Structure 1
Amino acid sequence: MNISEIIELGLWPQSKKTTSEKGISELEELGYNLFYIGKNADLYTCPGKDAKVLLVRSDRCSVFDIPLNLEIEGKGVSQTAISNSGAAFAREAGIATAILEEQIDQSLSVAPRCQLMELCKPLEAEIDGEVVQFEFIFRNYLTGSLYEACQNGNDPYGLELSSDLKQWHKFETPIFTPTTKGVKDIPLNTAKVREVFPEIISSLEKLFKDFTQFALDNGIVIVDTKFEAFVNAKGEWILGDEILTPESSRFIASEDFDKGEFISMDKQILRDFGKENNWKEKAKALKAGEKLEVEVPDSIKNTILAGYSRIHTSLSK
């Protein structure tokens, strides 16, 4: 299936710019054709007529939605392995995923960075008179933007949380804080979204609880996670490609968490380094398609890779 057929079926947003560049030669020679270059991964059409694509993760890096000239060798392979594990955990819980169990030829050098994915449409529904797409977010702890909202007396999700709650307060049971999916994620009323998707949210809540306990048993604290739901050609809801991974969740080593060192085992260390070096301000001068030129110490790269490695080793069944 080529990209024009994919667009005609409504399985690819016309707003996303495609490319005519050639991709990795060993894939192109087998009939996989590059059609989209993302910040951290690329997409290829697949030979045949099935509605699926090939996702190929790169070693490229981005933070704050800023594309960087930085590559961390081995990051793409680690992220793919973690993504496969997260998808497998969801499937064992009876939840379908866009990530297919089918694999490309494993003798290809690029195979460890590849996932075959079912093409699907974002899940949509009308909330308060507006049709929106969703991010289903579950939290074990009060931190980040929600903590700031509580401190300021705001109640973006209608949860009526006390302003007296301390940062890193652990909720007795995970709380659900849905947002819209878009350029800017807008908080939605929790009760209203539950009314629209009771079965989906119940399934995801259980998945999050089970994964939280599994991770804790293996030395990792799950702070929160974000699920993105889609609809496949059969009209069934399925999860997307980032399921229980560092791209969708916050992982903290238990020994760090217990010491009050809330350092995420992902690219948070890169975000912090970027803040220290004013990357957001520097990025304002970038032209369309340009990457921010940065210099990052090997110590930071190695810490990021070590975090990914521990997550994969600890949380792969």
Structure 2
Amino acid sequence: MKISEIVALGLWPQSKKTTTKKGISQLEDLGYNLFYIGKNADLYTCPGVEPKVLLVRSDRCSVFDIPLNLEIEGKGVSQTAISNNGAAFAKEAGIRTAILSETVDPSLAIAPRCQLMELCKPLEAEIDGDVVQFELIFRNYLTGSLFDACQNGLDPYGLNLPSGLKQWHKFETPIFTPTTKGIKDEPLNSDTVRIKFPEIASSLENLFKDFTEFAYARGIIVVDTKFEIFVNQKGEWVLGDEVLTPESSRFISKEDFDSGNYISMDKQILRDFGKANNWKENSKALKAGEKLDVDVPQTLKDKILSGYTTILNRLSK
């Protein structure tokens, strides 16, 4: 399928610019053609007429939606394996994902970075007069932006939480904090979104609860998780490629959590480093297509990769 056919199906957003660059030769020779270069992964059209694409993860890194000139060798392979595990967990719970069960030729050197995916478009609906896309977030603990909001007396999701809750308070049952998806994610009223998507919200809440227990038994605390929902050609809702992964969730090893060390085993290490080095401010001078030049110590790269490896090892069945 050609990119023009993908666009004609209405399954590719006009805001995402395609590329005419050639991709990895071993894939191009087999009829997979590069058409989109993302911050951390690339997309290829597939030979044949079925509406599917090939996602190939790189070792590239990004934080705060800032593309970096940073690669961590081995990260792409670990991310792909964790993503496959998350998709399998969701499928066992009866939830569809965009990730297909078929794979590329396993003899290809690039195979451990590849996922064949069903072509889908982001779920959209009207909320308060605006058509928006969604990020559906479930939280086990009070921390991050929600804790900051509570400290300032704000209730951005209409949750009516008790006043005076401490940071890292554990909720008896996960709370639902949906947002819009865009340049700036805006909080949405939790009940409004539940009423709009009752089946999706309840299914994902149960998935999150089950995964939290599964991970805890394997030494990982799941702080929160973001689900992105898409719609396939049949009109069915499906989960995207980041299902219960470090790109969509915050994971802390149980031993660290119990000792009061709340640093996630994922990109949070890189985010903290970037915050200390003013990456957000420095990125404002970037032109379209440019990456931010960053200098990250090898010890930090090793720590980040070790986190991904630990997550993969503990969450593999």
Q: TM-score, normalised by structure 2?
A: 0.98
The aligned counterpart of 1:157 is 157
> For the residues of structure 2 that align with 1:192 and 1:270, how far apart are their CA atoms?
34
The aligned counterpart of 1:2 is 2
Q: CA deviation at 1:285?
A: 2.1
Q: CA deviation at 1:83?
A: 0.3
Name which of structure 1's ranges 250-259 and 269-278 shifts more when overlaid on structure 2: 269-278
Are the counterparts in 2 of residues 150 and 162 from structure 1 also a CA contact under 8 Å?
A: no
Q: Cα deviations across residues 188-234 of structure 1 (Å, max 9, x unaligned)?
A: 11111111111111110000000000000000000000001111111
Are the counterparts in 1 of residues 97 and 240 from structure 2 also a CA contact under 8 Å?
A: yes
Q: CA deviation at 1:163?
A: 2.7
> For the residues of structure 2 that align with 1:132 and 1:14, how far apart are their CA atoms?
15
The aligned counterpart of 2:23 is 23
* Partner SS, residue 306 of structure 1: helix
Q: CA deviation at 1:128?
A: 1.7
Matched-pair identity in %: 79
Aligned 1:94-133 pairs, distance under 5 A: 94-133=94-133
Q: CA deviation at 1:282?
A: 1.8
Q: TM-score, normalised by structure 1?
A: 0.98
> For the residues of structure 1 that align with 2:34 and 2:118, how far apart are their CA atoms?
16
Q: CA deviation at 1:100?
A: 0.5
Are the counterparts in 2 of residues 149 and 155 from structure 1 also a CA contact under 8 Å?
A: yes
Q: Are 2:209 and 1:227 aligned?
A: no
> What are structure 2's unaligned runs of at least 5 residues?
none
* Partner SS, residue 165 of structure 1: coil
> For the residues of structure 2 that align with 1:285 and 1:159, how far apart are their CA atoms?
38
Are the counterparts in 1 of residues 13 and 121 from structure 2 also a CA contact under 8 Å?
A: no
Q: CA deviation at 1:273?
A: 1.1
> For the residues of structure 2 that align with 1:114 and 1:266, how far apart are their CA atoms?
21
Q: Cα deviations across residues 45-96 of structure 1 (Å, max 9, x unaligned)?
A: 0000000000000001111111111111001000000000000000000001
> For the residues of structure 2 that align with 1:98 and 1:60, how far apart are their CA atoms?
22
* Partner SS, residue 293 of structure 1: coil
> What are structure 1's unaligned runs of at least 5 residues?
none
Q: CA deviation at 1:129?
A: 2.0
Q: Are 2:103 and 1:92 aligned?
A: no
> For the residues of structure 1 that align with 2:221 and 2:176, how far apart are their CA atoms?
18
2:207 is matched by which residue type in structure 1? L
Are the counterparts in 1 of residues 11 and 121 from structure 2 also a CA contact under 8 Å?
A: yes
> For the residues of structure 1 that align with 2:52 and 2:182, how far apart are their CA atoms?
23
> For the residues of structure 1 that align with 2:237 and 2:253, how far apart are their CA atoms?
32
Q: CA deviation at 1:286?
A: 1.9
Name which of structure 1's ranges 82-91 and 118-127 shifts more when overlaid on structure 2: 118-127
C-alpha RMSD of matched pairs (Å): 0.8
Aligned 1:63-78 pairs, distance under 5 A: 63-78=63-78
Q: Runs of 4+ in structure 1 displaced over 6 angstroms?
A: none
The aligned counterpart of 1:54 is 54
